């Protein structure tokens, strides 16, 4: 029974016992504090079942604002906007605070209501041009102008921001974004100048290491390979702990190769292989040294009737220890009854500082893994180090690997649903999209394991002849996978079975990726990925391929 169902049933119990005040309290608590729960839709109908003699307390403007803020924090931006509208309508004479106005604008931004968002942030800035929210409002205005390709408005806003708040973090960010603005339009001299200004600020800029990286990348693209190696060398010396070190080492190695300095290139690849082996560039460096690709760049058809990996144990592992507290005792009893989901609930509730807590938490993770709730297993495993789990509780490396990179509901799909795709690749995509959480809900409204937008889900369902009466059905794991796999197949057909293009378009959209691919010139596939303009999409593609390499390693020879 879900959290929302509990509140509904408690309210119905109070109603049936003649206590409508307590019933309303339960239902309103659910409506206010858990507005994203599917059970919320039942609250209005249930309130109408109360005695007609009972006066239901009105929903005030404050209630609507409280609910809107909760929806905003849960990234349910379209629903938050409706709640904000209801709040303002309930008390039109009441002013809106700067913080609420900022949240409304941000929700509009994420809901891609661009015109409305521009108006909101302009109002926020003009209300108090020197107040604390003013630089934030200007930053969001600049982002919106950039999104809709209003270049002059973008440049004007950046100029106002840098003039009015030169020392602000928002001005620092826009100075960095200005470099990308010029780079993406092929104005490389202006881009180099903008990035150099940011890089020279050193530790005073949050974006200095990124700026050094892009200085080198532009030089590499202009075939100034010697300059690129020198620029990236400065980055490595100045920011040795930067997350860009793997990227820098790899592309410095590629630049050395272009210069014919193979020994220098090899030293960079060996550095990556030693210190960053299981990263995207660690895998590419190993491929550079061995000549063996870590993954296919093109989709391959996989024959078979689905994944042949079991989840729930065919032979029950006995509970390995005498329980030491009430939660562990109940967990052991449920374990023996093969009620693994319920056992997991009890075992994960064992206090972290209690005796044998690590063992109980491992058992909870294993129980959730067995019942097909891998996201809950992953949540537990992430609290503990890999070494601690292996040493303290005796879990085999193989079991830990399969729990860390699960196949989840993919195991219930047949070969027809997989449509010839490698389930290990789909597993990598799901891991990157939702971390295997079937209830995942993004700030733009994407739902479920493969983060399908409602309009995409409805279109795919219609194509497959599936009835989809509610958007919340996209939270169903098997249905979400079927629709998501169909979408991946569409993208592969669109991009001639090129996996990087399909993955990039899954994140950024087909139109954007088509434009990037058309402008790629003579870039090879690795250079194309590194050159993706959207940082989120670039990192997403790299993350999917790292996960794919791990899935291939763990489930080698078990494709379907």
Determine contact, residues 429/544, Cβ cutoff 8 Å: yes
- Taking 50 as the threshold, does the pLDDT of residue 310 lie above it? no
Between 24-33, 78-87, 315-324, 342-351, the lowest mean confidence (pLDDT) is in 315-324
At residue 500, φ and ψ (nearest 5 deg) are -60, -35
pLDDT at 64: 96
* pLDDT range class, residue 493, cuts 50, 70, 90: very high
Alpha-carbon distance of 225 to 246, in angstroms, equals: 18
pLDDT at 396: 75
Query: What mean pLDDT do residues 457-463 have?
Result: 96
Determine contact, residues 507/532, Cβ cutoff 8 Å: no
Helices (H), 382-530: 386-393, 397-404, 415-418, 423-434, 454-464, 477-494, 499-508, 510-518, 525-530
- Taking 90 as the threshold, does the pLDDT of residue 479 lie above it? yes
The number of beta carbons lying within 10 Å of the beta carbon of residue 222 is 12
- Between residues 405 and 302, the one the model is more confident about: 405
Determine contact, residues 170/135, Cβ cutoff 8 Å: yes
**Domain covering 326-406 in this structure, CATH number:** 1.25.40
- Taking 60 as the threshold, does the pLDDT of residue 15 lie above it? yes
- Taking 90 as the threshold, does the pLDDT of residue 163 lie above it? yes
pLDDT at 2: 67
Identical fold for domains 326-406 and 413-554, yes or no, is no
At residue 240, φ and ψ (nearest 5 deg) are -65, -20
Domains of the chain, by residue range, sit at: 3-96, 99-290, 326-406, 413-554
- Between residues 323 and 274, the one the model is more confident about: 274
Query: What mean pLDDT do residues 58-62 have?
Result: 94
Tell me how many helices (H) and strands (E) the chain has: 30, 0
Q: What is the pLDDT of residues 395-431, one digit of tens each?
A: 678 888 888 999 988 988 877 778 889 999 999 999 9
Alpha-carbon distance of 57 to 424, in angstroms, equals: 53
Q: Which CATH superfamily is 99-290 part of?
A: Tetratricopeptide repeat domain (1.25.40.10)
Helices (H), 168-279: 169-183, 188-199, 208-221, 225-238, 245-258, 262-275
Query: What mean pLDDT do residues 130-139 have?
Result: 96
- Taking 80 as the threshold, does the pLDDT of residue 303 lie above it? no
Alpha-carbon distance of 61 to 67, in angstroms, equals: 10
pLDDT at 305: 44
- Taking 80 as the threshold, does the pLDDT of residue 527 lie above it? yes
- Taking 50 as the threshold, does the pLDDT of residue 306 lie above it? no
Q: Kindly state the tokens that stand for 380.
A: 């537990």
Mean pLDDT of the chain: 91
* 1.10.530.10, 3.30.70.100, 3.40.50.720, 3.20.20.80: CATH of 413-554: 1.10.530.10
Give pTM, 2 decimals: 0.85
Determine contact, residues 26/14, Cβ cutoff 8 Å: yes
Alpha-carbon distance of 277 to 263, in angstroms, equals: 19
Between 82-96, 123-137, 355-369, 541-555, the lowest mean confidence (pLDDT) is in 355-369
List all residues 6 or more positions away from 404 whose beta carbon is below 8 Å from its beta carbon.
378, 381
pLDDT at 394: 62
- Taking 90 as the threshold, does the pLDDT of residue 381 lie above it? no
Q: What is the pLDDT of residues 332-377, one digit of tens each?
A: 999 888 899 999 999 998 887 766 888 888 889 989 998 889 999 9
pLDDT at 317: 66
Between 16-20, 222-226, 392-396, 407-411, the lowest mean confidence (pLDDT) is in 392-396
Q: What is the pLDDT of residues 187-209, one digit of tens each?
A: 999 999 999 999 999 999 999 99
Q: Furthest-apart CA pair in the chain: how many Å?
A: 89
Q: What is the pLDDT of residues 18-55, one digit of tens each?
A: 999 999 999 999 999 999 888 898 999 999 999 999 99
- Taking 60 as the threshold, does the pLDDT of residue 486 lie above it? yes
With vertex at residue 203, the alpha carbon angle to CA 200 and CA 204, rounded to the nearest 5 degrees, is 80
Q: Which residues does the annotation mark as catalytic?
A: 433
| CB neighbour burial string for 497-527, b if at least 16 within 10 angstroms, e if fewer | bbbbbbbbbbbbebebbeebbeeeeeeeebb
Q: Kindly state the tokens that stand for 21.
A: 């005040």
Determine contact, residues 349/367, Cβ cutoff 8 Å: no
pLDDT at 355: 60
Alpha-carbon distance of 399 to 200, in angstroms, equals: 49
* pLDDT range class, residue 255, cuts 50, 70, 90: very high
């Amino acid at each position: 029974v879900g959290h929302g169902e509990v509140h509904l049933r408690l309210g119905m119990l109070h109603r049936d016992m003649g206590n409508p005040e307590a019933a309303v309290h339960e239902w309103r608590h659910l409506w206010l504090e858990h507005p994203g729960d599917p059970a919320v839709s039942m609250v209005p109908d249930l309130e109408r079942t109360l005695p007609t003699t009972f006066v239901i307390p009105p929903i005030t403007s404050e209630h609507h604002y409280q609910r809107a803020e909760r929806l905003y924090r849960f990234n349910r931006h379209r629903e938050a906007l409706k709640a904000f509208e209801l709040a303002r309508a309930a008390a039109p004479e009441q002013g809106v605070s700067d913080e609420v106005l900022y949240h409304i604008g941000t929700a509009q931004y994420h809901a891609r209501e661009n015109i409305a968002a521009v108006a909101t942030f302009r109002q926020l800035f003009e209300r108090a041009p020197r107040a604390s929210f003013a630089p934030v409002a200007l930053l969001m205005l600049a982002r919106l102008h950039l999104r809709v390709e209003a270049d002059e408005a973008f440049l004007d806003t950046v100029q106002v921001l840098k003039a009015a708040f030169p020392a602000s973090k928002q001005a620092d960010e826009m100075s960095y974004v200005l470099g990308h603005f010029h780079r993406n339009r092929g104005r490389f001299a202006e881009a180099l100048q903008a990035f150099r200004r940011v890089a020279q600020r050193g530790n005073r800029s949050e974006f200095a290491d990124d700026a050094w990286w892009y200085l080198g990348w532009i030089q590499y693209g202009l075939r100034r390979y010697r300059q690129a190696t020198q620029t990236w060398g400065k980055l490595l010396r100045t920011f040795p702990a930067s997350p860009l070190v793997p990227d820098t080492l790899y592309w410095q190695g590629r630049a050395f190769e272009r210069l014919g300095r193979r020994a220098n290139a090899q030293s960079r690849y060996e550095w990556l292989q030693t210190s960053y082996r299981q990263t995207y560039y660690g895998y590419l460096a190993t491929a550079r040294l061995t000549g063996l690709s870590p993954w296919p760049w093109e989709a391959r058809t996989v024959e078979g009737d689905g994944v042949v990996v079991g989840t729930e144990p065919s032979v029950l592992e006995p509970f390995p220890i005498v329980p030491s507290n009430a939660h562990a005792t109940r967990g052991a009893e449920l374990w023996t009854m093969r009620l693994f989901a319920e056992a997991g609930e009890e075992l994960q509730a064992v206090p972290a500082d209690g005796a044998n807590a690590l063992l109980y938490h491992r058992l909870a993770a294993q129980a959730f893994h067995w019942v097909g709730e891998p996201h809950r297993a992953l949540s537990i495993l992430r609290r503990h180090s890999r070494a601690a789990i292996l040493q303290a509780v005796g879990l085999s490396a193989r079991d830990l690997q399969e729990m860390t990179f699960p196949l989840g509901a993919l195991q219930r799909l047949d070969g027809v649903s997989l449509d010839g795709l490698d389930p290990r690749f789909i597993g990598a995509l799901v891991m990157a999209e939702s971390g295997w959480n079937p209830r995942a809900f993004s700030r733009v409204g994407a739902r479920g394991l493969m983060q399908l937008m409602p309009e995409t889900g409805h279109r795919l369902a219609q194509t497959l002849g599936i009835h989809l009466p509610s958007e919340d059905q996209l939270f169903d794991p098997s249905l979400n996978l079927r629709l998501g796999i169909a979408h991946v197949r569409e993208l592969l057909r669109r991009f001639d079975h090129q996996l990087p293009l399909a993955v990039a378009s899954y994140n950024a959209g087909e139109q954007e990726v088509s434009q990037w691919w058309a402008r790629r010139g003579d870039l090879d596939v690795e250079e194309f990925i590194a050159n993706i303009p959207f940082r989120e999409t670039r990192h997403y593609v790299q993350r999917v391929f790292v996960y794919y390499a791990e899935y291939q390693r763990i489930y080698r020879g078990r494709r379907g």
